[in-house]
Structure 1
Amino acid sequence: MSYGILFSGQGAQKAGMGLDFLSDPLFKDTIEKASSASHQDLVAIFKDENGELNKTINVQPALVAFEVGIFRMLKRDTNLNIGGMAGLSLGEYSAMYASGALDLVNCLSLVSDRARYMQEDADQVENGMAAILKPKLDEIEALIQDLRKQNKRVYIANYNSLKQVVIAGEKNDVELAAKQIKDQELAHKIVMLKVNGAFHTPLFDGAKAKMTKRLTNVKFKENEIPVISNTTALPFSNNWREIMAKQLAVPTHFDACVQYLIEHEQVDQILELGPGKVLSSFAKQIDRHLKCSHIGSYAEYQAFIEEKHGIKG
């Protein structure tokens, strides 16, 4: 039995996440250190009493700290055989810490700056994203290319599974692309997403440039567990600086990451850490034989510990 650990990305956040874990001393310690490193009150962001989770600058450090806190608890309470890891976009920073590539304080400081750079770009233009369900991918890629030739700023941002891709860009251009996809019957369904930015498109070239500079002096260790990059669909290998800057403005390939974990790391169990279950559903679409678990609440954590390891949480 070999686990693939999946870390949720931005969009999975929800009000109240993490609050039920604060009774655990190790989780509380994680959030306190992460708050200090990010110069933000992450407990207040978890509460979301004033819409804090609507902003990228708040979501990113809060979500990574939440996932890292759960992972630290798992390391304390279990001896999981982890074959490899993947995160969706922001989730790669949780994997960065969990794999041993960067310590908690430096990871959260880096995430906080990334969030600030991305918020600055997101505020420059009205953004849009749309999930395309059961897409006719070749035809959609051709349609997007045609729109780009017409100087429309719309792109495929996420290749999540064979049953879902996400398009992103300027809001009006995304809406135009979505209408054409619908009119030409190139997908089963289109869902406009509530987002704070058209992530993983050239609209974030500014953030990419800032991140390139920010990463220059970050000292990464060799990760102890393989982490599969959304950008290359290959394990990170002493190339965190290059890939984590590039990641901001190019598509994610989460489907290929899961496929790599199955084929090359012999993963047969999936454990998703984060508030949602989206990545588990993508994994199931990629290989229906995968056994999937999820931890997004303290009750789910206790259930996982008890069911898998016979330990009372």
Structure 2
Amino acid sequence: MVAHVHGSIAEPRYAVLFPGQGVQRPGMGEPWRGTPSWELVDSVSRASGFDVAELLLTADQETLSRTDHAQISVFTASLLAWSEFRRHDPHAAARVVAVAGHSLGEYSALVAAEVLSVADGAWLVGERGRAMAETARRRPGAMAAVMGGAVEQVEALVEAARRDGAELWVANHNSPQQTVIAGSRTAVEATAASAAEAGLRYSVLPVTAACHSPYMEPAGAALGRALELTGFATGTVPVVANVDARAHHGGSHWRELCARQLVSRVRWADTLHVLHEELDATAFLDIGPGSTLAGLVRRNLPEIPSDRFKAPVPQTA
């Protein structure tokens, strides 16, 4: 069930990537129902307080668009894929040298690296999602992807807006040609228009939260309390953190990294380079719903093979 998306090499050293919020879709759990890994759904439901089976099987797009629902759904779907990947291809799983996750996906990566247990990861994702949803309800924000220019060009647009009093920040640096901005809706829409005038493409994202910006600071208190109650193990492989694009092993320092991640830029382009150049990953495997991260590998490291782990075809009665 590993489909080769780009290139192929013998005996690759895999870096495994886990997606974040935004890849959720109705029925995305259906292919995994009936697999031995489906028991994870009950474990995540008990730990998080959500009916995850309902979210994965019957929830509509509007229900899944809620921040808390989206996060626990993508987290669970990613763990189902990771579990089935290891069960079906233990030889490939033994060649995983490092992991990373985009935003929410960092929690999936921490579970995959055995820094967090499934129960602790599910509980943290549940608390994080609820805190972020409540923060966005109290102080709505917006995000937009700016494409076609280097991050420095987008940073200059953001700084110009901030000099004029706008509440705006760079939220994600995803590739040499894609940077996401976040802040107030007025600031995001005005800066997106400025980007268009500069010859850049942009897309205002269908979200009401300014993720990875100071707008999320109120959510930090609840997440911080949850992190303090969570144990972080040594882990089995390095995890490259979003906030500093450095490889970290397990340990209590992940409390601070996870807390900072809530309000800080996701350095995804740098993360991919670290996985390849410092941790010697020779191929990337996108685990979880969709193939967004495999696409970002192609944009950042076009010469490196990027694969995705495909969900099985659902069995019809």
Whole-angstrom distance in 2 between the partners of 1:201 and 1:212: 16
Deviates more, 1:86-95 or 1:124-133: 124-133
* CA offset digits 1:4-42 (Å, max 9, x no partner): 1000100111111111111102x2101111111111111
What secondary structure, in the 3-state scheme, does the structure 2 residue paired with 1:249 have? Answer: coil
Distance 2:86 2:228 in 1: 30
The answer to whether 1:111 aligns with 2:125 is yes
Amino acid at match of 1:98: A
Residues 296 and 116 (structure 1), Cα distance of their counterparts in 2 relative to 1, 3 Å cut: farther
Residues 69-218 of structure 1: pairs in structure 2 closer than 5 A: 69-77=80-88, 78-80=90-92, 81-185=95-199, 187=200, 189-218=201-230
Identity %: 28
1:14 aligns with 2:25: yes
Q: 1:35 aligned to 2:45?
A: yes
| 2:223 is aligned with 1:223 | no
Equivalent position of 1:292 in the other structure: 306
Work out whether residues 147 and 179 of structure 2, in 8 Å CA contact, stay in contact via their aligned partners in 1. Answer: yes
When normalised by structure 1's length, the TM-score is 0.91
Among 289, 309, 312, the alignment partner of 1:275 is 289
Asked if the contact 1:131–1:191 (Cα under 8 Å) also holds between the matched residues in 2, the reply is yes
Q: Superposition pairs for residues 239-258 of structure 1, below 5 Å? A: 239-258=253-272
CA distances 1:258-300 after superposition (whole Å, capped 9, x unpaired): 1001011211111101212111111111111111111252249
Cα deviation, residue 252, structure 1: 0.3
C-alpha separation between the residues in 2 aligned to 1:54 and 1:122?
Answer: 13
Query: Letter of the aligned partner of 2:206 in structure 1?
Result: K
Q: Is the partner of 1:215 in helix, strand or coil?
A: helix
Q: Which runs of 5+ in 1 are unaligned?
A: 301-313
Per-residue deviation, residues 49-107 of structure 1 (Å, max 9, x unmatched): 37220101111111111111111222223222001111100000000100010111111
Q: Which residue of 2 aligns with 1:66?
A: 77
Structure 2 residue runs of 5 or longer lacking an equivalent are 1-11
Q: TM-score normalized by structure 2?
A: 0.90
RMSD: 1.5
Amino acid at match of 2:122: L
Distance 2:168 2:302 in 1: 32
1:23 aligns to 2:37 (yes or no): no
